[in-house]
Amino acid sequence: MLSVVTMIDKKTILENIPEAIDKIAYPKLGRRNSGKVRDWYIRNNLRILITTDRVSAFDKVVGTVPFRGAVLNKLSQFWFEKTRDIVANHMIGITDPNVMLVSECQALPVEVIVRGHITGVTQTSIWKMYSEGQRIIYGIKFPEGLVKNQKLKKPVITPTTRATGPGGHDEPITAAEIIKKKLVPPNIWRQIEKVARDLFERGTKICQKGGFILADTKYEFGLSKNGKLTLIDEIHTPDSSRLWLKKTYRERFKKGQEVENYDKEIMRIWFKERGYSGKGKAPEIPDSLKVQIATRYMEVYEKITGEKFIIDLKVPPKERILENLSMLI
Ligand SMILES: Nc1ncnc2c1ncn2[C@@H]1O[C@H](COP(=O)(O)OP(=O)(O)OP(=O)(O)O)[C@@H](O)[C@H]1O
Ligand SMILES: [Mg+2]
């Protein structure tokens, strides 16, 4: 079958702003479920996971950016394939640039954050706590004299509980508390710690080849139907990770300057500068910023995977998704 694959330039992004995917409603598949970024339908033991173009910042949906969902979905696909030997994952296959067919798991109630660098300004970030004088953070002892954005001697695992309900926030928790509160069985938690370190090491190596530092990242795990530890959700995307430009990191760090972010941070900064941090009405993202975000996300995809980001634009994205979903019935 002949299909039109298109390389995405700035003009194409601008033209596609009104086509950005805000949600995918397809009642024939049953009830639509949605998180901040994804919509999904459950069919038997399968989850049809649709990554929309919705943008979330400060735990709120604040707009859409064209092609963002496809980048996130295709990048996760790349990483799931590259890490299969470390841990089983939920991916069965991709049925559209925005859709992944996954096995439905029982999600574990913790998010597993691995950090190779000390940074961040939110309540769960280790730089925030360290700069306020704490030295035992997430049950881990940190040495004196660390500076913002510094590389840690060895990556640390800083779990959080998963926020429940709309607008809920994740809370820091220690490994000991996870066991004590029986959030995760001890043998599974030990397995998670090992797997998370190995995933982070693999991620760091592959990102470096693409010119990025994987400063930190978040993993979500679940148990499959037969109780097997399974990596779920997304992996090593610019939404779930901090990606810094390697080329300028050392120079900037030495001078005490901020690093160059290629992740969600660009959006957080823009909103913060306008006084928005999750409360009240979010300011509308201007087209110029949408173009910048889409361009950055595609650049990340291309540098990490070594492949061009191409997409079929013969049919408008929403229509294309619905057409591809109809084949799953
Ligand atoms: N295979 C799976 N089995 C069960 N749950 C899954 C699986 N894969 C992903 N999930 C869950 O599906 C949801 C995906 O939606 P989404 O990413 O929009 O959620 P969110 O966490 O609210 O948003 P954000 O990523 O902005 O924090 C998450 O709650 C995630 O934990
Ligand atoms: Mg999520």
Q: Are 94 and 325 in contact (CB under 8 A)?
A: no
Instruction: For ligand 1, pick from 44, 106, 225, 232 the residue to mutate: most ligand atoms within 8 Å of CB.
Output: 232
Q: List pLDDT tens digits, range 235-274.
A: 999 999 999 999 999 999 999 999 999 999 989 999 999 9
Number of compact structural domains in the chain: 1
3-state secondary structure of 221: strand
Does the C-beta of 54 come closer than 6 Å to ligand 1? no
* pTM > 0.85: yes
Q: Are 86 and 195 in contact (CB under 8 A)?
A: yes
Q: List pLDDT tens digits, range 92-147.
A: 999 999 999 999 999 999 999 999 999 998 889 999 999 999 999 999 999 999 99
Q: Are 16 and 66 in contact (CB under 8 A)?
A: yes
Show the tokens assigned to 29: 């598949």
Does the C-beta of 104 come closer than 6 Å to ligand 1? yes
Would you state the pLDDT for residue 165?
67
Residue labelled with tokens 């300057």 = 257
Closest CA to ligand 1's atom 4: 105
Amino acid found at 306: G
Q: What is the CATH number of the domain that holds 63?
A: 3.30.470.20
Please give the residue range of the domain that contains residue 300.
5-326
